[in-house]
Structures are given as structure tokens and as C-alpha cells.
Structure 1
Amino acid sequence: MPSPPAPEIVPDSQARGLVAALPPRVRALALLARFDRPIGWWLLFWPGAWAIALAGGLPTRWGLLIWFLIGSIVMRGAGCVYNDIVDRDLDASVARTRHRPLASGAISVAAAWAWLLALCGIGLIVLLQLGTLARIIALASLVLVAAYPFMKRITGWPQLWLGLVFSWAAPVGWAETWGSVSLAGLSLYAGSIAWVVGYDTIYALQDREDDALIGIGSSALSMGRHVHAGIGICYAIAVAGWTAALWQVRADPLVFLAVLPAALHLLWQVATLRPADGEGALRRFRANRATGLLVFLACAAVGTTL
């Protein structure tokens, strides 16, 4: 009996579009910060945008939304640079990541550290636009960010830690807009964490064989043959958290209708997912940009009626 075809691996560093037109040195820095892959900063941005919208920040605080978008782009880039500095040896052992600038030797570690500091400098400008409480909450995330690259070495569930990190904009945006931390903001954060675990498990399906060989953990490996059910449970918890947040802001049955499009989109992801199809998994992971937009529209609909 012939063996099943190997899953298609989509390289993590692909210079296309505007990035491909950059000079080689600048292109390497852009790839290091994943500027060629905007899905990452969209996923980092959405939880903060949800919080601003649900807390009643729209339409008066569009400027804050733009600052959050800028912060998401540069801090996602900084996080990727830091992650690649820590993981450069592991990345060289994984088919999808071996062409990253540090793993391939296209850029030096010293240059990567300098680039990281430059991105953090821009992030500091964004931080200074926030009030005191939001600044304190934002700075507290640095501990989580610093620890994240090491989680795959010590736990089979690094995606849960990533959820804490990638959802952190929600409490920051809530505190800045609402003026304090509330149960609604925490429910939004909890829903976002579950969402991140779900979509990053889909993303991690591309690396299951390599991760098992080099001995690092991932939720895709931990869920094993129950990966469909595991992702489905994560997404169900996410929808429950979002619904609870909206309900606490406005106790109206229309809340359920507002969340329904996002819930159906997540259901489509799980129902059509084929774990052995690396390219298909990547498409469903990227589809979460649309999930973020649908949740944002739900938050805006509820938040603007306060």
C-alpha cells in the first residue's frame, strides 16, 4: 500500500510583493519582523479593537484605534525578532522555519538585537499615548512576552501562553476606554485567549512531525487525534466569553445575533479542517482575520448603543 502524501509545507519566510522589492539587507529585516505576513499583527490588533469598541470608544476615539494598530504592527514585529533570536537553532531544524533570516544566517544576531530595540522604541511612543492604568497593564505583558519562546521547551501547551500574550491588548484597550478593569473586559480577554489557542493549534498542524522529532511541545501534538474536538472546544469557549462580555455591557437577546456570524465562521473552520493538509490549515488560520472583524462589528454594535 502506498504511503500517504507528505503534507505540503509553506515556508514561513516568503519575500513577495513590496517586501520582495526591498534591498537585500532591508528585506531581511522586514522578513525578520514578519512584515511579509500581516496576519500576525491583525490577530494581535483585534482584541484591543474589540475592547475599545465594546467599551464605548467609537466613534469618538478612532485615534486610539489607529495607535493600537501601529502598536500591533511594531510589537508583533519585535516579538517575532525576539522569538527568532531565542529559537534560531530550533528554527533551523524545522522545514517551515529554516529559511527565516536568523536561522538561515542572512542576518546576524547583533543586527537582530539592534532591530528589536528600534521596534521597541516605536512601541514606546505608542505606550506614551495611553493613560497611567493602561500603561501599567501594557508593561505587565513584557514578562509574558519574554517567557513565551521558552514555553514550547517546558510544556505541551505553549499556545495557551501565546493566548495570554496575544490577547493582552484587550485589557489594555478596555482600561484605556472604560477607565478601569471590569468583568466584561475580563470576559472579552478570556474569550480571546481561547480563540488564540484554537487558531494557533490550526497553525501548529503544519509543524507536528518536526516538533515531535526535535522534542518541543505544541497543542496540535497534545490534542493528537482529537484535534478537531479540541479546536472546537476552544472556539466554543471563545464564543461564550465574547457573548458574556457583550451581555454584561448590554443584557439584550440581540447580543446572541451579533455574535452568530463569528460563531458560524469558526464552525466552518473546524468542519472543513484537514489536519494533514498544511496549506489548508494555513488558509484557515489566516481566515481568523475575518473572525476578528466579525467580533469587532459585534462589539461596535453593542458598544455604540451605551
Structure 2
Amino acid sequence: MIGGGDDIVPDSERRGLIGALPAPARPFASLMRLDRPIGVWLLFWPCAWGVALAGLGPNGVVLILWLALGAFAMRSAGCVYNDIVDRDLDARVERTRLRPLASRRVSVRSAWALLFVLCLIGLEVLIQLNLVAQLIALGSLALVAAYPFMKRITWWPQAWLGLVFSWGALVGWAAVAGTVGPAAFLLYAGTVFWVIGYDTIYALQDREDDALVGVKSSALALGRHARLGIAIFYLVALLFWAGAIRALRPEALALAALVPVALHLAWQALALRPADGADALAKFRSNRFAGLLMFLACLVVGNA
């Protein structure tokens, strides 16, 4: 721990779950974003979709629980790693300047130690999977390692995040089926576009700060066309998901399972107020409900 007067302690560490923890633990909990579980949900849902659409198998419920633990550990690890890489950049952005590393309340060495512990938890989850699922999961590591640098390289870091956060769809499918097929790849492709859509909504909050510090994002790239772009991303996601369902259940009625999630995504795009940061955050967070609706669709189709 380094320094740390009250002026650099964010309000999120004074209340709620983090505020209930002992004071020395709070910056580490903040580093893991324990007060923002939405990221865990968004990483978890594609895993659960893959398991459900593949038919659950004999241990589907247990497998989903293991993958939930893995999503928690790896999302937390990703946040720690991202903050290690971005600590100097975060210090220059109003929304992130009080993060534990940016404000120097946690040392870089301590952050690496926390990252190691979280990766050990992820390893425990990994060994519960079959060999194919293990190899697929390990294949995501290069994508994960490169992600924090994408905002410096491309206007579309959200697309790279899509590749990363959608990977669980392939892992979940392989954990049940022992292989991956066309339906799994279509599910993955659709999920990539879903992630691009919701992360563009999230990036709307930071457009002014990002422009000032030279950070790239799809929200900046789309400009005043952001809402249209998000609608297109969601539409493409639904088309790929429809393809995944058709690959398993060719009857047209099976596509009705997508109607609830399609209506929800349409509401997000149509009701979004791009200039309102609070509205953008609320729409972004609503994707945990979208994830539930898609899970139910996968459950119905995969187990019909």
C-alpha cells in the first residue's frame, strides 16, 4: 500500500460490499471491481450459453457453476491486469483517476501478487474441464494479454474485447460436447457483435476524456451515428445467433426463442440517449438481463 489520504479514496470504498471490508482490503477489492459485478455477468453468460445450447450434458448445472467461478476469477484478473497496464493513463482520466494503482494506494508488486492468486483460481476451474475445452480456454490468453493495448492502436478496441469476452461460448460448448461445430462458431460470432454493441454503449460515457488523452474507441469512431451503429451490431448478433439455432433446429419455430432477447436489444438501441452518461451506463448494465434471456433461449433450443 502506498500513501492514501481521504481525498484519494473513492466513495465506492466507503459504502456497500467494499465499505464493509477491513480498510486494508478495500483497495484490492476495488482493483477487482467487486462493487461492479456486471463484468462478471457479461463474461459468464456466453459460457452458460455454450453449455445450454450444447444440451447441458449430465453435469451441466455443476459445469455452469464452475464456469461462473472462472468468470469471476478471470474478470477480476483482467481488471487487475488492465489497471497495471493503464495506471498512468487512468491517472489522467476523471472517471478512473481514483483507481487503486492510478492513485498509488496499491503498489504494482501487490497488484501482480493479486493477479497471480486469481490466476490460480482460474487454473482450478480449468482442470475441471475436458481436454478440448482446456485447450480452447488457453487459446484466449494471447487475446486477453493484448486487449489493454488495443485502445492505443485501433479505433475499435471494442471488437477485440468482443473476441475475448465471447470466448466462453466456445469453452462452454466444448466442455459439454468435447468438440466444436458450426453452431458453436455461429454462437461465438454473434456474441462478438453483442459485446461490440454493449461496450460501445459503455464507451459513450468516456468520449470527452478519451478524446483529450488520445484513447481510441468505437464510440468516438461512430460519432453522432453511435446509436445506429449499436443497432446494427445487435442486429448482426441476432442473425448469427439465429444461424446457430438453425444449425441445431431447422424448424422455423425454434427461432421464436430469440424474440425476448431481440426485443430487449431493440429497446436498448432505440431508447439509448448517447449524450447522457447515466443512461448509457444503465443501458450497458441491462445486458445482464439480455444475457439471461439469451440463456433461456439456448436452454430451450438445446434441450428441446
How far does residue 59 in structure 1 lie from its aligned partner after superposition? 6.9
Alignment of 1:216-235 (within 5 A): 216-235=215-234
Distance in structure 1 (CA, Å) of the matches to 2:134 and 2:23: 36
Q: Cα deviation per residue 1:151-196 (whole Å; 9 max; x = unaligned)?
A: 0001000000000000010111111111211010000000000000
Partner residue in 1 for 2:261: 262
How far does residue 213 in structure 1 lie from its aligned partner after superposition? 0.8
Partner residue in 1 for 2:3: none
Partner residue in 2 for 1:103: 102
Alignment of 1:210-221 (within 5 A): 210-221=209-220
Alignment of 1:1-306 (within 5 A): 14-15=12-13, 16-57=15-56, 60-305=59-304
Give the match's secondary structure for 1:237: helix
How far does residue 12 in structure 1 lie from its aligned partner after superposition? 9.1
CA shift in 2, pair 1:13/1:282, >3 Å:
farther
Q: TM-score, normalised by structure 1?
A: 0.94
CA shift in 2, pair 1:162/1:12, >3 Å:
farther
* One-letter code aligned to 2:49: W
Distance in structure 2 (CA, Å) of the matches to 1:13 and 1:137: 39
Structure 2 residue runs without a partner (length 5+): 1-8
Distance in structure 1 (CA, Å) of the matches to 2:44 and 2:109: 29
* One-letter code aligned to 1:55: A
How far does residue 256 in structure 1 lie from its aligned partner after superposition? 2.1
Contact 1:170 1:189 in 2 (8 A): yes
* One-letter code aligned to 1:200: D
Distance in structure 1 (CA, Å) of the matches to 2:32 and 2:158: 20
Q: Cα deviation per residue 1:37-94 (whole Å; 9 max; x = unaligned)?
A: 0000000000010010000016742000000000000100000000000000111111
Q: Cα deviation per residue 1:239-275 (whole Å; 9 max; x = unaligned)?
A: 1111111111111222221101101101111111111
Contact 2:82 2:148 in 1 (8 A): yes
Distance in structure 1 (CA, Å) of the matches to 2:83 and 2:238: 32
Distance in structure 2 (CA, Å) of the matches to 1:173 and 1:60: 12
Question: How many percent identity over aligned positions?
Answer: 60
* One-letter code aligned to 1:151: M
Distance in structure 1 (CA, Å) of the matches to 2:234 and 2:100: 33
CA shift in 2, pair 1:84/1:105, >3 Å:
same
Contact 1:82 1:116 in 2 (8 A): yes
Distance in structure 1 (CA, Å) of the matches to 2:145 and 2:219: 23
Q: TM-score, normalised by structure 2?
A: 0.95
Q: Cα deviation per residue 1:202-224 (whole Å; 9 max; x = unaligned)?
A: 00000001111111110000011
- More divergent stretch after superposition (167-176 vs 247-256): 247-256
Contact 1:19 1:27 in 2 (8 A): yes
Give the match's secondary structure for 1:62: helix
Contact 1:58 1:304 in 2 (8 A): no
Q: CA RMSD in A?
A: 1.3
Contact 2:57 2:176 in 1 (8 A): no
Distance in structure 1 (CA, Å) of the matches to 2:23 and 2:91: 20
* One-letter code aligned to 1:114: A
- More divergent stretch after superposition (209-218 vs 50-59): 50-59
Distance in structure 2 (CA, Å) of the matches to 1:20 and 1:247: 48
Give the ranges of 4+ consecutive aligned residues of structure 1 lying more than 3 Å apart after TM superposition. none
Distance in structure 1 (CA, Å) of the matches to 2:73 and 2:94: 26
How far does residue 25 in structure 1 lie from its aligned partner after superposition? 1.9
How far does residue 130 in structure 1 lie from its aligned partner after superposition? 0.6
Contact 1:160 1:197 in 2 (8 A): yes
CA shift in 2, pair 1:59/1:297, >3 Å:
farther
Distance in structure 1 (CA, Å) of the matches to 2:108 and 2:19: 22
